[in-house]
Structure formats: structure tokens, C-alpha cells
Chains A and B, each alone.
Chain A
Amino acid sequence: MTAAAGDSVMNGSTGNGSAANDRADRRPLLTVEHLTMRFGGLVAIDDVSFRAEDRKITAIIGPNGAGKTTVFNCLTGFYKPTVGRLTLQREGRMPAYLERMEGFRIASEARVARTFQNIRLFPKMTLLENLVVAQHNKLMRASGYTVRGLFGFGYGREEQKAVEQARYWLEQIGLVDRADDDADSLPYGDQRRLEIARAMCTEPVLLCLDEPAAGLNPRESADLNALLTFIRNEHRIGILLIEHDMSVVMQISDHIVVLDYGRKISDGDPEFVRQDPAVIRAYLGEEEEEDLPDIVRQDLSADGAGGGGDRP
């Protein structure tokens, strides 16, 4: 069992087999190489490498404190990684190196959009305004950086287009009727979906979702699955997903990366990950206590209970 786990770790850090095969015909959308993030002495992410494909849903899972959100924050420019390269392939352009870009440029130029674990809508603005603000850069150019827009030359048409785009996404999440209500008046599940719609309004090539199913009831979870599958199939973009809800992860992911204590412990399709002993051990704990020396076992039973909770 130990051998198998070791194998999978090796496998993971050098790149998954199936991904390597794909490489010949298509470059992966996002390549993360040797990503390390240290906060002082604390290593939150330790040499993690993985890929996220275009038109695929890639899920990052792992126990609490495994470093999933830190990976997201590095990807979307909220943290500068200590070590590592984050390459985003762009059609017809040079690839973007996300680790070098300023936070807001990752969204505006590299077109990586994200949502947040604790929803971050603009609560006192209407649904429509939330979606129109997401199209800020496009509209800013249309309004001649405010100068032209102040006198209303040619800006109205662009704004109309932005509203149509917003209407399209409101239709997808079924909230057209409430377009003119404040965002904070929505129920929780609708707020989650609105945040995804808002991220989609930036016309991203990669959509990063931080626990989109957190706090949703089973019906809302099913709606979310449908929405994400729709985005992948119809809009042909890559989705990167952090999730604890296994019903979401196993049903819709094409590819799963498992982190634990900041390290990658498994990487593959859902079936492979589900049976990976390293993953089972990370989620359910050690089984093979008989292999351990007596003194280690005593230590484990002494402080084993607190071990899970102390993770950073």
C-alpha cells in the first residue's frame, strides 16, 4: 500500500500520464509548475504542479487547510507565489505568466475570472449592475475613458450590448425577473450563481470557482452542476474548481487534483482518485498501525485526536 501511494505521488509531481498523452495534440490551458508559497516559516503550498485543460472541469480537493484557496489566490494574483511558474496559454498570443502579473490584469488581460469562498457580490447594487460592472474594461473603452461618455457619444449602444450580455447570463441562472433588485436581497444559493454569472460576464478563458456548492441544498447543488456543465460545453472554457461536496466533484469533474498539507498527493480522473490509497488515507486517516513501531503508535494515540484540527 505504501508503495502504491509513493508511486502516485511520483506520478503526480512529474505530470499525470493521460495529460502527457494529450500534450501532443493540445497544450494545456493552464500549467502550474513547482508552485510554492511560504508565509514566513509556514509552507502553505509545497512544490505543486498540475495542469488544467481547456473545455474541462478540473477540481482541486483536499482536507481543510490543504492549501487549495492559496493555490487560487496565487493564480488570481492575490498572492505572489514564492516559487513557481503559472503559464496560461492564449489563442494567437504569447502565453501569459500569471505569477508576474498584477492582480487586476490577470482578470482583464489573461482573462482568468474567479469567485470567492465567502460570496463577494456588490450587495447594494442591483443584479444587473453587478453584471454590468463586470464588463467594466470593455465599457470603459466604449465610453472613451469617460470623456466621450460624459457627453453621450456612441456609448449607449455599447451599454445596450452589455445589458444584453447580462440578460443572457441572468436567463442562464433564472433570475431575469429580479434584475433590478439589490444583490443582497437574493437567497444564498442564487447569490452563489449570480457570482458565477458575474465572473462569466468578464468573458474569461479560465473560470476559478472557490467552493461554489458550499451551503447549497441538494437541489441547488444539482442546478449548479447543470450550470457548470453548460458553461463547459457551450462556452468552451476551462473551469478550475475547489469543492468539498463530493457529489459535485465526482459528477462533473473531468480531472481531479488532490492536495494535502500543501502537497499534491494525487492527480487523475475521478475514478482513479476515488480509489487512490493516498487520497483515502488523507481523508479517512491511517489504517496500517501494525507497521508502526510501538513508541510511534503511543505518540499517535496521545495527540492523534488534535492532529487534524491543528493544521494551518
Chain B
Amino acid sequence: MAVNIPPADRKGVLIELGGTALVVFALTVSLVGFHIKDISGGITLDLRFVDVASAVAIAIVVRGWLILMRHGHYRIVTVSAAAVAVLLIVSLLFGGAGVQTWLPFKAKLLQWLLAILSAGFAVGSAVRMAREGRPAGSAQDGAVPDEQAALMDRVSAQVQRNALWIGAILFLAAAVFPFMPGVNLQYLDIAVLVLTYIMLGWGLNIVVGLAGLLDLGYVAFYAVGAYSFALFASPDSPLLQDLGWTEGVSFWLCLPFAGLMAALAGVALGFPVLRLRGDYLAIVTLGFGEMIRVTLLNFYSLTKGPDGISNIPPPSLLGYSTQSKMDEETLENTTEFHTAMGWEFDQADTTILLYFVILAMALATNFFTVRVRKLPVGRAWEALREDEIACRSLGINPTNTKLTAFGFGAMFGGFAGSFFATRQTFVSPESFTFIESAVILAIVVLGGFGSQIGVVVAAFLLIGLPEIFRELQEYRMLFFGGSMVLIMLWRPAGLLAHREPTIRMHGRRARASTGSGG
């Protein structure tokens, strides 16, 4: 079991380990090492160099395992990783407080992740050992990463092909989710949030995934939708007060209006940027997003600027308000849904209603996108993404095609914005910063351009996980960034990047038998 790395490589290995340690040290010393803590009467700097040292040590060990695996020493990796994993798991499960102070980091979740990481190494290298043990003793890798990439390609191709089944199962799961035992208000809230981002991702997917127009200002349409909605729905809105209306307009009337306004904003953005592509387009859309936010912030007479518009009612149901009378004095002459049904008011019921509203809206977005891909306009979007000049030579009007893509994408952003307004009951420009655009775009990119199920998976990863990982506190964003980097290294085109043709001549079975060579 001696480690025999060729002498020529030893220096390289040392440099590699040292480099890793240095990089991890540089990253963690400021992010983790210094922690500003609130104490009564001020703040104080908390130095946590033990955590930095643990991070560096972990990085060296993991890198060491990787190096050993590269040189074919699978047995050492398997044994040591398994030992570490077992040690961690045992002390996490059965160790008292005394034992657990010896473990790196304080967050339980991180310790569990370390255990899972070690276990993963142990299993991975055992599998690798078993696989290479059969044909040749020390076959070098090189084919292995390709193999993994090909595996993931196959997985995404399968997912896309069986999208109907997976979609149906996901839909059923989503439909029964609020009634599952153990689902509390917190989970429902997270689910509503994730669904909002799924819808935004699907909306942006039309612009970025299908039409290939990189839009960094998608949040602008979200904002336009939210504000168009709030201005008519909230009894507190300056617009309604100017008009002399005392009651807000119903959710179901404001919703299409907000979508329309957002679509108009999309077309308005589309016109000046028709000639731009790629980076240039991205910069202009980024600027557009900021313009909308700054306008909302400063147009005080209409938007109440940074104060925002509050008192936005939740969606009504069958003509009945779903608010509780306790919240609102103005609602005295309206009948609430729960009274009409003879139920007790329960906040969870309102959240369940919101959940189903956003589920229906997201599904409508998905239905639209899936359907439109098979229509000429959808194919024209994709063709435009592939080659604009060729499109022109085939008589496709690039102006109209781009504008419809911007318009439709913005419309769904506007719908999502209305939902956001009604859920929060309050809108202010603070909710529509660039980081929102970046997150939505990250969902689309991570899921794989144009992949509908990819967006769902990515929204869970990017929105759901950080919510669940709240325990990690400030490590959360570090973890988030790290996993993004890993995924981009592993699947640069996105998790489920596979394009399923919109139309087939020979059907799927034929492809499986004849098209394997191509």
C-alpha cells in the first residue's frame, strides 16, 4: 500500500497542494476569518482562525485524495475517506458535546456535508477501483471525465424525452404538496417563493433560452408588473387616490393589465436594442433594469418612491375577499371567503391559495413556452438565436421576431411581478435590484438554456437550498458561489442542456436505432 508517485511528479504534487492551500487561505481568511459581531453598544471583530485552518486542512486533504486517485491509488483513498466519513458520522450521531467541539466548524449542516463529501469520495474511488481492477491494473483516466459528461448528457436527453411523464409527476407532487403531513407555513412559503422563481425562469427562458437575447435587466419587467398591479390593486396607491377610488381593483382584472404593461415595456426596450447582440445587448438591458428602478425610486408622486406602496390585498376567490377583517377596516362591507364557506380564518389557507395561484400561473407559462416552441414563431426565435443573417435571407422579419420574444418574455415577468406584489402586500424599488436579474438568469443558465425542467431543478437549487441552508448564515453565499463554480466546471452548458427537436420526421424509436452514429 505504499504510495509510489513518480519522483518527477512529486514536486508538482507539492506545488499543487501548496497552491490549493494558498487559494483556500486567501478566500477564507477574509470571508470566514474575520467576523463582525453585534454586541450591546457597538460591534466587535471576532477572529475565527480555527475555522480558516480547518478549511485549509480540509482543502489539502480533499486535494490529496484527488491527486491519489489520479495516480490510481484508489485503495488508500477509499480506506481513508471511509474512515473519515465513519468518524464524522459516528461523532455527529452519538458523540456528546465534548466530542463535537473537536469537529471543524460549528454549523451542524457543514459537518454533515463534510461527512457526505468523505463518504462520496470513499464510494467514488471504490467504484473506480472495481471498474479498473477488471480490465487493467493502472489504466490512466482521461476518458473518465468524458464518460461522466456523456452520462449526464444521456440523463438530460432522457429527461427531455420523457418530459411529459416527469412533468405530470412533478405536477401531481406540486398539487398535493400543501396537503402533505408535515408541511407547515414555512415550507409553503418557500414553495411559493420557488414557484415564483420557476415562473420567472420560464419567462426569461423565452428571451434568453429560445431567442438567444441575453437580458440582464429582466427584473425591470418584474417591477413594471408589480407596480402596475399595485397601483390599481392597493387602496393606498396614489393613482387610485387621485382618481378618487376608494377600493382597489380585483386581482383578476389587474393581473392581465400588469402583464400587458410589462409586455409593452418589453417591446419598448426591444426597439432600441434591435441591432445589438451578445455583450452589448446585455449592457443595455442591464441599464434598462436600473433605469426602471431609479424611476420608481424618484417618481414620488406616482410610486411613493422608497416608501413603496403597501396594503395590496391578496387575490380574491370567486368574488369573495380572502383577507381577514381583523387586518382591514375598509373591508367591512365585503364578505370574506372563509365567512361565506363557514370556515375559521387561517393564514395557512391564504398561503395555500397563493400557492395554487402561482402554480397555475407558472404552469400557464410552461404551457405557452412548450406550445410556442412548436409554432413558427418559436422556431423563428430559435433560428434567430442560431443565425440572424440566415433568418433574414429566408424572409423572416428579425424585428418582429425579436420584439415578440421580448414582449412575451416581459409579459410573464409582469405576471410574476403582480403575484409578487399580492403576496408581499407591499412593493418598493428595493425588491427589484440587479441581483434579482442575476439570480433569475443564473436559474436559466444553470438549468440549461431552453430546458424547462432544468429551470425547475435550478430554481430548487438556487432558491430552495439557500432557504434550507439558512443555518449556515454567512457561509451560505460562499457555499452558493462554490456550488455554482463547481456546476459550471462540470456542466458548462447547464445541468440539463439538451435540445429536443420541435418536430420529427422519423419519430423517436427510429432515431434510437438509426441515429446512433450521428
Contact = CB atoms under 8 A, between A and B. Distances in A.
Q: Do A and B belong to a common assembly? A: yes
Contacts of A198: 394
A104 B398 contact: yes
Interface in B499-515: 499, 501-506, 510-511, 514-515
Q: Classify the interface of chain A: helix, strand, loop or mixed.
A: helix
B14 interface: no
A175 B404 CA distance: 33
A122 B393 contact: no
Contact of B395 (A108, A126, A142, A166): A108
B501 to A, nearest CB: 5
B67 interface: no
A121 B511 CA distance: 21
Contacts of A129: 379, 382, 501-503
A150 B375 CA distance: 8
B503 A181 contact: no
Contacts of B379: 125, 129, 132-133, 136
Contacts of B518: 178, 181, 185
A116 B503 contact: no
A134 to B, nearest CB: 5
B397 A179 contact: no
A105 interface: yes
A123 B376 contact: no
B395 A107 contact: yes
Contacts of B377: 140, 143, 145-146
A202 B383 CA distance: 15
A298 interface: no
Contact of B382 (A122, A150, A155): A122
Interface string B388-406: 0111111111100000100
Interface residues of A, number: 52
B508 to A, nearest CB: 9
B377 to A, nearest CB: 5
B504 A146 contact: no
Interface string B45-62: 000000000000000000
A76 B510 CA distance: 39
Contacts of B390: 116, 120-122
A137 interface: yes
Contacts of B506: 179-180
B501 A120 contact: no
B375 to A, nearest CB: 4
Given A116-B389, A129-B503, A137 B395 contact: yes
Contact of A134 (B387, B394, B499): B394
A124 interface: yes
A150 to B, nearest CB: 6
Contact of A202 (B372, B394, B511): B394
Contact of B375 (A78, A104, A122, A146): A146
A139 interface: yes
Q: Classify the interface of chain B: helix, strand, loop or mixed.
A: helix
Contacts of A103: 392-393
B504 A180 contact: yes
Interface string B267-300: 0000000000000000000000000000000000
Nearest to B397: A104
Contacts of B371: 150
A113 interface: yes
A96 interface: no
A103 B368 CA distance: 30
B204 interface: no
A121 B377 CA distance: 18
A239 interface: no
Interface in A135-184: 136-137, 139-140, 142-143, 145-146, 149-150, 155, 159, 163, 166-167, 170, 176-181
Contact of A180 (B376, B395, B515): B515
A167 B395 contact: no
A179 B510 CA distance: 11
A205 interface: no
B21 interface: no
A133 B505 contact: no
Interface in A217-261: none
Interface pairs A-B: 9 shortest CB-CB: A108-B395, A107-B395, A122-B386, A179-B505, A139-B376, A120-B390, A181-B518, A149-B375, A133-B383
Given A122-B383, A143-B375, 12 more contacts: A76-B393, A107-B392, A107-B394, A108-B396, A120-B390, A120-B393, A121-B390, A122-B382, A145-B377, A146-B375, A178-B515, A180-B515
